[in-house]
Structure 1
Amino acid sequence: MLNPSSNSADVIIIGGGPAGMSAALVLGRARRSVLVIDEALPRHRVTRESHGFLTRDGVSPSELRKVAREQIAAYPSVRFVQTAAASIEGSDGAFRVTTSEGETHTGRKLLFATGMKDLPMNLKGLEHVYGKSAYVCPYCDGWEMRDRPIAVIAGDHTMHLTRTISGWSNDVAVFTDGTPRPEEEMTEFRRRGIPVYEAPIREISSEAGETVAIILEDGREIPRTAIFFAPKLAPGSDLPVKLGCAVNEFGTMIVDELGRSDLPGVFGAGDGASQKYQVAAAVAAGSMAGVAINTEFLESDWEKRVQAR
């Protein structure tokens, strides 16, 4: 068991979102000592409700985290510290994590559940509607925005997002924000009667978080009451790269189906190790990573018992 005053653990989990806490729950139940280092600045803190997670549909992200922490508290070998991980060194069996306060913690295995973070979109007014009437995931929030006049602002993902959101509304308009789109894409929109506004966006007009219109630089105001957009994202932490983990072109950790990275003893789960940005997917990935980590411990312990005979 992990002594409350101890700085060592079987597993150090960096990130206390759905993936990290799911792994902590699995490992706590497996009687592993776990230290969760959580900065408590989740990307979904702007969202009022979380959807698509069975038995928790419509629950706020803050409530989801609160209940998770309460349930994990039943397993005393799991401990949380609210801080940021600043640096990591070591290898499988002996990782050393230093926090932003200068404290050091050691762990035999390491799980990154650091997620992604939003970069500035340079769309005036977006901050007033994000998480209220402007969203990034139709599967998460399309139902709530169903049948509304929807604006799609998605850059290179315009066609994909427009096609997806069309399942929730027949009134969809595309805004390119001054960036030309491929002619074949424009032809497809015309063929389907989807209006495309190519002028740069001056501002998103809203009232109390509810989108009212998209105001273009040419002066036109296009009435819209919902927005779906493709965010600009960056990894929530650069520590996986600094440690030497392989990442893809998006900065996402490359892991297998069980969350194992190319570095022995290092795992990844959640948005920072996947492009499936849904709570249910993060919980599943964290659970699988927790099982994989415990399996490695069991296999090692099994061999040690044989050698000790």
Structure 2
Amino acid sequence: MNSKLETTDVVIIGGGPAGLNAALVLGRARKKVVVIDEGRPRNAVTRESHGFLTRDGISPAEFRKQARADLLNYPSITIVEDEAVSASGSDGHFQIETAQGRSYRSQKLLFAVGMKDQPLDVPGLAEVYGKSAFVCPYCDGWELRDKPLVILNSGAELMHFAPLISGWTDRFTICTNGPDGLTEEQREELRQRGIPLYDTPIQSIESAEGMVRQVVLTDGTAVPCEGIFFKPTLRIGSDLPRSLGCELTETGSVAVDPFGKTSIPGVYSAGDAASQYYQLIAAAAMGAFAAAAMNNEMNLAAWKRR
């Protein structure tokens, strides 16, 4: 184990689009940066990422590979394959410890830890997730345009999602996997548009080689489909923001201002951990804004010391 304490300007916990783009901006600002990444991204099941100009259709693994190649141009950036297990200290004097015994001291700290899926409790959903079952129509709706789909959702969010998905296909069935959480007025709205609604629990999702064939309900009803959109249950990718005292939102993400500042001076957060956008391009942009804000603070502090 290496217990040597290394000093750096910024420690970034998380090596996804938010963390890597933050590292790029800071590296170009001549700051010394350490990115600690455990290498278990949420989108590992995803075959392609979409909606990022010049990178449309890229796989998440290839995106990270190309991003890391960009960072090689800046020798002040170091990427460490490790897990951050503790964070302590205050603005200008943070200390981070890793699972492999590394220790880092930094002026600023950025949590780009993303979100993680809770276990999928619908039998057969894990087998199709990322292949024919998705969570974001902006990311994957084009590939499923005009196809018969099943929407797994309920309550108020369902009445937001149904009009949204109708821009890609009008051939969809709603399965709420239990009580639908709707008002009678909302049910009538769906009926008027000819949208089937089933609140019977799901028995299984049947598929072949990751491609969904049908959703089978416990009463024997089979709903044929070629794709699924569902609402995952998420949790923040690390408990470190909470342990350091960062304020969290009702949804469990880190509360930040438009530049990624948390409630703790010197601590920032970006990407999925600090928003509900869940878009590759949005995460990268948030990382860039947070990096600029951290750099400005460090430059101003150095200016005042002169």
Count of equivalent residues: 301
In structure 2, what is the equivalent of residue 138 of structure 1? Answer: 137
Q: How far apart in 2 are the matches of 1:202 and 1:184?
A: 28
Listed as ranges, the gaps of 5+ residues in structure 2 are none
In structure 2, what is the equivalent of residue 285 of structure 1? Answer: 286
- Equivalent residue letter for 1:146: R
Q: How far apart in 2 are the matches of 1:184 and 1:116?
A: 34
1:103 Cα deviation after fit:
2.0
In structure 2, what is the equivalent of residue 212 of structure 1? Answer: 213
TM alignment of 1:1-309, pairs within 5 A: 7-156=6-155, 157-182=157-182, 183-305=184-306
Q: Tell me, what secondary structure is at the counterpart of 2:164?
A: helix
- Equivalent residue letter for 1:274: S
CA-to-partner distance for each residue in 1:166-222, whole Å, 9 max, x for gaps? Answer: 100010110011223322221211121110011110001111111100001011111
- Equivalent residue letter for 1:112: F
Residues 5 and 103, structure 2, Cα contact 8 Å, conserved in 1: no
Identity of matched residues, %: 51
Q: How far apart in 1 are the matches of 2:186 and 2:72?
A: 52
Q: Which moved more, 1:182-191 or 1:253-262?
A: 182-191
Q: How far apart in 2 are the matches of 1:180 and 1:73?
A: 51
Q: How far apart in 1 are the matches of 2:204 and 2:240?
A: 36
Q: Tell me, what secondary structure is at the counterpart of 1:7?
A: strand
Residues 154 and 180, structure 2, Cα contact 8 Å, conserved in 1: no
Q: How far apart in 2 are the matches of 1:200 and 1:102?
A: 47
- Equivalent residue letter for 2:175: F
Q: Which moved more, 1:59-68 or 1:157-166?
A: 157-166
Q: How far apart in 1 are the matches of 2:178 and 2:261?
A: 42
Distance 1:15 1:239, change over 3 A: same
Residues 5 and 102, structure 2, Cα contact 8 Å, conserved in 1: no
Listed as ranges, the gaps of 5+ residues in structure 1 are none
Residues 111 and 269, structure 2, Cα contact 8 Å, conserved in 1: yes
- Equivalent residue letter for 1:173: T
- Equivalent residue letter for 1:198: D
1:6 Cα deviation after fit:
6.8
Q: How far apart in 2 are the matches of 1:154 and 1:272?
A: 22
CA-to-partner distance for each residue in 1:123-176, whole Å, 9 max, x for gaps? Answer: 011111100110000101100111110111023321212221110001011001
If the length of structure 1 is used for normalisation, what is the TM-score?
0.95
1:77 Cα deviation after fit:
0.3
Q: Tell me, what secondary structure is at the counterpart of 1:110?
A: strand
CA-to-partner distance for each residue in 1:9-60, whole Å, 9 max, x for gaps? Answer: 1000000000000000000000000000000100000000000001000000
Q: How far apart in 1 are the matches of 2:189 and 2:38?
A: 45
- Equivalent residue letter for 1:184: E
